[in-house]
Structure 1
Amino acid sequence: MARNVEFDEALAIQKAMEVFWKKGYNATSLRDLTDAMQINSSSLYNTIGDKQELFVRCVQHYTNIRKKDWDLRLASERSPLAVLTDYIHEAVNIIINGEDSCMAVKSAFEVATNDERVKQILAADDQRSNRFLYDLIQKAMDKGEIKNDEDPALLADYFNSTWTGWYESYILHKDPVKIKRMAAYFIKQLTK
């Protein structure tokens, strides 16, 4: 009689997400995934499905983690501008020090153009990101930390697209000083 393989699905998704994040969708093999998840391929197919379905779940898991982080930051009692500035500095650190950078950016370029489900998950994540930034910027404006003559929605959109540009710039040039200078300039523009 075949033995039922029981495993912690949430932990398995986390481990698979880390593999996809590091290697990308196309470079990740089924063996990479089953080794990381510590299950065999039949257990994967029986519980989650194929590699594509697993990837979709991993992207959803990743975006859920980001949402929780944004919610915590928004609930902070700290100055909204300080929270935003810390977020920008952390984004810079991820770009220049993190081997894996942003899974959402990687997935958008590698998979979302061909997979509608991944595209929808990432589009929802982008909307949440914009909302998070908008809310922080608006709170900072309400407290007088940022001049209220700016459009918070435009600033949120601008930061999101700028951050992606920093990521691309670092991939191409590996110049951490350049990325830090652009971040400092962006913060300076916010607080003029």
Structure 2
Amino acid sequence: MARNIEFNEEKAIQKAMEVFWKKGFNGASMRDLTDAMQINSSSLYNSIGDKRELFVRCIHNYTESRMAETKAHASKIKSPLKAVIAFINDSVNTILYNSNSCLAIKTTFELAATDQDIQVILKNDSDSTYAFLLDLVEKAMAMGEINPEEDAGMITEYILNAFTGWYESYILHQNPARIKNMAKYLISHISK
């Protein structure tokens, strides 16, 4: 009987996430995943479960770590408006310079409509991101950095929904200047 290989689960999840990032859930085979994780399939099944369970762990890990990084980055910026602008610029950089772009957006289009567990994770991520950004917008309004007569919730929704459109635009047109110009336009409108 073959022995199961012991492995570092956290590192294995990271390696699997990279495969899912590049190939998507449907495009990633079990062989792709186990090769990247450097484990055999029985070790995967015994410790984590099947491909879907692995993906759920990966997307959960991705959304949690991304939000922790976002909050840590924003906490170093004193101006709430500058933190919002940094958030926008970070999103632009992800779209333009990260070959994998945003795993949450990719997953939303691939699986969220048909997989309730994935939808819940992504909705929680969206709600968390919205609350984080709304707090910054409200603080910027209180400090007079953003017009306090504007609707903070609408500004927040507008910012977040722009990213999906930018991502689609970049996939189709591969035009960095277009994305940067849209970001500049957005920033100029919230900074009035």
What TM-score do you get using the length of structure 1 for normalisation?
0.95
Given that 2:77 and 2:83 are in contact with CA atoms closer than 8 Å, whether structure 1 keeps it comes out as no
Find the counterpart in structure 1 of residue 81 from structure 2: 81
* Alignment partner of 1:133 is 2:133: yes
Figure out how many residues of one structure are paired with residues of the other and give that number: 192
Superposed CA deviations along residues 119-155 of structure 1, whole A, max 9, x for unmatched, are 0000000001111110111111122111111111111
How far does residue 75 in structure 1 lie from its aligned partner after superposition?
A: 2.8
Distance 1:73 1:147 in 2: 24
Distance 2:28 2:3 in 1: 27
Given that 1:74 and 1:136 are in contact with CA atoms closer than 8 Å, whether structure 2 keeps it comes out as no
Equivalent position amino acid for 1:80 in 2: P
1:96-135 aligned at under 5 Å gives the runs 96-135=96-135
Task: Name whichever of 1-10 and 58-67 sits farther off.
Answer: 1-10
Superposed CA deviations along residues 61-116 of structure 1, whole A, max 9, x for unmatched, are 00111221233144335211111111111111111222111000000000111111
* Alignment partner of 1:167 is 2:167: yes
Structure 2 stretches lacking a partner, 5+ long: none
Superposed CA deviations along residues 37-68 of structure 1, whole A, max 9, x for unmatched, are 11000100010011011001100000111221
Distance 1:35 1:136 in 2: 42
Given that 2:70 and 2:87 are in contact with CA atoms closer than 8 Å, whether structure 1 keeps it comes out as no
1:137-148 aligned at under 5 Å gives the runs 137-148=137-148
Equivalent position amino acid for 2:144 in 1: G
Task: Name whichever of 55-64 and 94-103 sits farther off.
Answer: 94-103
Given that 2:4 and 2:42 are in contact with CA atoms closer than 8 Å, whether structure 1 keeps it comes out as no
Equivalent position amino acid for 2:98 in 1: G
Structure 1 stretches lacking a partner, 5+ long: none
Overall identity of the aligned pairs, in %: 52
Given that 2:19 and 2:28 are in contact with CA atoms closer than 8 Å, whether structure 1 keeps it comes out as yes
Find the counterpart in structure 2 of residue 33 from structure 1: 33
Q: 1:175 to 1:77 in 2, by over 3 A?
A: closer
Distance 2:120 2:87 in 1: 25
